[in-house]
Amino acid sequence: MSGVAFAYSRAADVADAVARGGAPGAAFVAGGTDLLQLWKAGRATPTELIDVYGLGLDGIGVDGDELSIGATARLSDVARHPFVVDQHPLIAEAVLASASGQIRNMATVGGNLLQRTRCPYFRTAGMACNKHRPGSGCGALDGEDRHAALFGAGSSCVATHPSDLAVALVALDATVEVSGARGVRRVGLSELYRLPGERPDVDTTLAAGELITRVLVPRAASIGRLATYVKVRDRASFEFALLSVAAVIRIDAGTIVHARLVCGGVAPAPWRLPAGEALLIGQKPERGVFTVAAAAAVEGAPPLPGNSFKVELLRRALVRTLTTIATGS
Amino acid sequence: MTAPQAHSNEPTNDHDVTVGYSLSINGGTHPVQDAWIGESLLYVLRERLGLPGAKNACEQGECGSCSVVLDGTLVCSCLVLAADAVGSEIATIEGLSADGGLTDVQQAFLDAGAVQCGFCTTGLVMSVHDMLDTTPAPTDLERREAISGNLCRCTGYGRIFEAIDLVVTRRSGSPAGAS
């Protein structure tokens, strides 16, 4: 066994978790699939684990005009839940493209959204990594950069966010409900993540001790059902994305009236492509339109030497995703 | 060092080194004493309880060699804290067969020659049982997906798929090899 010593306790309730979760060295744990990996690698050094798995935050249901998914719902339960499959199959698609059966049986929604980057410099003990220790340097910038970000990176960090689910949820305009010392607040999932800037070690806008309690997704009727998730990876299963695309469009009288293009694996957070979205609105859902929008969406992406192939890969993935939606195949 | 809290059913949160608890494994109760809270379920099964069927390979949840069933779901025991499994029903490969013989999945692995070095085999047997418990007639895609969390570096998976074919055929009652 490896890793530093920590204390472990099960939180009594959300208030207890939040009250203790802000202490230096404290970390929430649920499925443990990411935190324990990092702890074994010496890249997470919690002194106190607060287990929130048993807090009953795993419900999935309809709440008013929204689909509500509890933060500790397991990915495998999310992917097969009738409400999810019926209202937002995009979510099930993204989840089933993630990890393996064993991991989906353990991993939770909240943990998935908060998982750390797969950048090998971050994951490997002894490597220079500003996300692990600000000021220690970025091995990827001058080293192996095939996995590095196309968008949103900085001079301090080029790591990408690995979640499939988060990409789908941003495309569906999801928000998260967060409990903290100052009560409950809601934050758009896009605003949950922050760019590296001078603090690449901080992935999110959550305050110390804040706990995600559930994810809320506008119901399908208000968004439109035309959506799909395309994940491009080095092998067909149990692999993180080289890049991925979640697209959602709504068509009214033959014209696109709503569009979300969000890509994963290419930025520190799920990355919207507003230039591409804008070129879809008011147009007919056909391949020529998709090609123009996809080209605009990737324009200006500044690649590193090792990941420049992803610009064209992303453009093609966008066309393929939109074509799949439009043709239903 | 404090005295171990033998047979307690709630993990302690002492900063001191050792804890004691009981795990429910294959229908029996297994006390664990003087354990460190950071020990994985895999470690406790193998090193403390004499249940080495779950294998220790990657310790990162990637290879599936440590697969066990926790409260009815297949998990990687290397990423479960043993103390967090208190109160759960744990099933390991040692408990698959009531009489100590081979299950039909294990027999099919032998018959098909699906075992080479054998390190991945127990995890694969757990995954195949788990799939067939819920999906008696899996499609090709379902079979591939069900074992995608189990890495085998010897067989190339061909014989493993043959073994799955054998079990499905035998369970459906048709003669082996019949279409």
List chain B domain ranges.
5-95, 104-172
Q: Is the pLDDT of residue B64 over 50?
A: yes
Task: Round to whole Å and give the CA distance between B168 and A186.
Answer: 49
Cβ of A237 and B144 within 8 Å?
yes
pLDDT in single tens digits along all 329 residues of chain A: 467 899 999 999 999 999 999 999 999 999 999 999 999 999 999 999 999 999 999 999 999 999 999 999 999 999 999 999 998 999 999 999 999 999 999 999 999 999 999 999 999 999 999 999 999 999 999 899 999 999 999 899 999 999 999 999 999 999 999 999 999 999 999 999 999 999 999 999 999 999 999 999 998 766 667 999 999 999 988 999 999 999 999 999 999 999 999 999 999 999 999 999 999 999 999 999 999 999 999 998 888 999 999 999 999 999 999 999 998 75
Q: What is the pLDDT averaged over residues B45-52?
A: 98
Cβ of A1 and B76 within 8 Å?
no
Pairing of strands A7-10, A243-252: unpaired
B112 by DSSP, 3-state: which? helix
Under CATH, what is the fold of the domain B5-95? Ubiquitin-like (UB roll) (3.10.20)
Q: Which helix (H) or strand (E) holds A14?
A: helix A14-21
A80 by DSSP, 3-state: which? helix
The amino acid present at B169, given as its one-letter code, is T
Nearest CA of chain B to the CA of A12: how many Å? Answer: 13
Find which of B73, B150, B157 to mutate to test the A interface (most A CBs within 10 Å of its CB): B73
pLDDT at site B10: 44
Q: Is the pLDDT of residue B5 over 50?
A: no
pLDDT band at B33 (very low <50, low <70, confident <90, very high): very high
CB A106 within 8 A of CB B76: yes
Q: Is the pLDDT of residue B13 over 50?
A: no
Mean pLDDT for chain B overall: 90
Q: What is the pLDDT averaged over residues B16-37?
A: 92
pTM of the model: 0.94
User: Percent of chain B having pLDDT more than 90?
Assistant: 84
- Two structure tokens written together for A79: 């992917």
Q: Is the pLDDT of residue B174 over 80?
A: no
Nearest CA of chain A to the CA of B27: how many Å? Answer: 21
Cβ of B38 and A5 within 8 Å?
yes
Q: Is B71 on the interface with A (CB under 8 A)?
A: no
Q: Is the pLDDT of residue B1 over 70?
A: no
Which residues 6-65 of chain B have a CB within 8 Å of chain A? 10-11, 13-15, 17, 36-40, 43, 59-62, 64
Strand order in the sheet with B73-76: B28-36, B18-25, B89-91, B67-70, B73-76
Q: Which helix (H) or strand (E) holds B132?
A: helix B121-134
Find which of B84, B127, B133, B144 to mutate to test the A interface (most A CBs within 10 Å of its CB): B84
E strand segments, chain B: 18-25, 28-36, 67-70, 73-76, 89-91
E strand segments, A224-325: 226-232, 243-252, 255-264, 271-272
Neighbour count for residue B132 (Cβ, 10 Å): 19
Topology match between the domains B5-95 and B104-172: no
Give the CA angle between residues A320, A278, A296 to the nearest 5°.
55
pLDDT at site A219: 85
pLDDT at site A250: 93
What DSSP line would sit under B8-58, residue for residue? -SS----SSSEEEEEEEETTEEEEEEEEETT-BHHHIIIIISS-TTS--S-
The amino acid present at A192, given as its one-letter code, is L
pLDDT at site A224: 60
Select the residue of A6, A32, A39 nearest B80 (Cβ to Cβ): A32
Q: Is B77 on the interface with A (CB under 8 A)?
A: no
Cβ of A5 and B14 within 8 Å?
no
> H helices then E strands: how many in chain A?
13, 12
What's chain B's Rg over C-alpha atoms?
18
In CATH, the number for domain B104-172 is 1.10.150.120
